[in-house]
């Protein structure tokens, strides 16, 4: 994702690279990624002089770097998933000092998919059961994906009910009949797949399927760069990707 973001930045006329950050011990440390820009492991050094940061890492690194960004007065865009409630609370604290935008997925098409899921759930009503299937590469560390959970939240919103207590993440053994208000999410892993998500609305004698398939990571990076350009200069607070993408 770092390489994809670098490429996307070259296509964004309002932004340029101001710093590059990597975890300690990585072989890329010290290498030059743009003229005069070297990869460092110190967040304060990487953020110095920047207006906005783009982060795709792991929850612990995201929280630490976001706090460093707040110290430097730098807006923060992150696509890290697998965040805990404590991590989200930490980002909310950072957002009191600088603008913060966290999203499970920066693809415009995926966010349109979430909108479609919300509307489908609203119009189909209680006669349709909702199930979500996602497939990602073998190296993905969190399951289900943040995007799948975002889609489940969209379905729940469309149904006019909270997701809490209705999410089903696994089925095995004698589990009984499917609860009528359940929203199931199943995760598959394999190969180098950047991500696939399918949402099924299953009724009696018919089924509606809404799907998105990624073949590269470029559209994630382009969306993140677009969000970073939009977030720059805004007031402190938590913002959504839907706001940044005009959805």
Active site residue 140: yes
Q: What pLDDT shows up at residue 9? A: 93
Task: State mean pLDDT over 211-235.
Answer: 94
Q: Is the pLDDT of residue 245 over 90?
A: no
Query: In angstroms, rounded to a whole number, what is the distance separating the alpha carbons of residues 71 and 179?
Result: 47
Please classify residue 11 by burial: count the beta carbons closer than 10 Å to its beta carbon, then call 0-12 exposed, 13-18 middle and 19+ buried: exposed
Share of the chain above pLDDT 90, in %: 91
Closest listed residue to residue 99, CA positions, set 212, 208, 240: 240
Split at pLDDT 50, 70, 90, the class of 82 is confident
pLDDT tier, 81 (very low <50, low <70, confident <90, very high otherwise): confident
Q: Name the catalytic one among 38, 137, 140, 150.
A: 140
Q: Is the pLDDT of residue 70 over 90?
A: yes
Task: Please state, in angstroms and rounded to a whole number, the distance separating the CA atoms of residues 33 and 52.
Answer: 18
Q: 7, 38, 123, 136: which one is catalytic?
A: 136
In this prediction, residue 247 carries a pLDDT of 79
* Mean pLDDT, the chain, whole residue set: 95
Give the pLDDT of residue 216. Answer: 86
- Is 157:120 a contact under the CB 8 Å cutoff? no
In the residue annotation, 136 being an active-site residue is answered as yes
The residue behind tokens 């409630």 is 85
Domains of the chain listed by start with CATH number: 2-102+217-244 (3.40.50.720), 108-214 (3.30.360.10)
Residues 6 or more apart whose CB falls under 8 angstroms from that of 197 comprise 110, 113, 132, 133, 134, 145, 147, 148, 151, 211, 212
Residue-level pLDDT at 181: 94
């Amino acid at each position: 994702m770092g390489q994809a973001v670098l490429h996307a930045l070259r296509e964004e006329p309002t932004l340029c690279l101001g710093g590059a950050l990597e975890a300690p011990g990585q072989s890329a440390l010290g290498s030059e990624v743009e003229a005069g820009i070297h990869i460092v492991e110190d967040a304060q050094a990487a953020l110095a002089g920047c207006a906005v940061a783009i982060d795709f890492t792991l929850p612990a690194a995201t929280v630490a770097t976001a706090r460093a960004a707040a110290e430097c007065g730098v807006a923060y865009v992150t696509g890290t998933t697998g965040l805990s409630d404590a991590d989200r609370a930490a980002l909310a604290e950072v957002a009191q000092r600088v603008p913060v935008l966290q999203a499970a997925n920066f693809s415009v098409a995926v966010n349109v998919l979430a909108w479609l899921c919300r509307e489908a759930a609203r119009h189909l009503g209680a006669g349709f059961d909702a199930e979500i299937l996602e497939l990602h590469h073998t190296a993905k560390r969190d399951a289900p994906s943040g995007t799948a959970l975002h889609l489940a939240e969209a379905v729940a919103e469309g149904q006019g009910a909270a997701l809490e207590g209705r999410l089903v993440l696994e089925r095995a053994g004698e589990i009984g009949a499917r609860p009528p208000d359940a929203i199931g999410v199943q995760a598959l892993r394999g190969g180098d797949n950047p991500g696939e998500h399918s949402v099924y609305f299953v009724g009696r004698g018919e089924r509606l399927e809404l799907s998105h398939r990624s073949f590269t990571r470029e559209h994630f990076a382009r969306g993140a760069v677009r969000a970073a350009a939009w977030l720059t200069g805004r007031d402190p607070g938590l913002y959504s990707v839907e706001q940044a993408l005009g959805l």
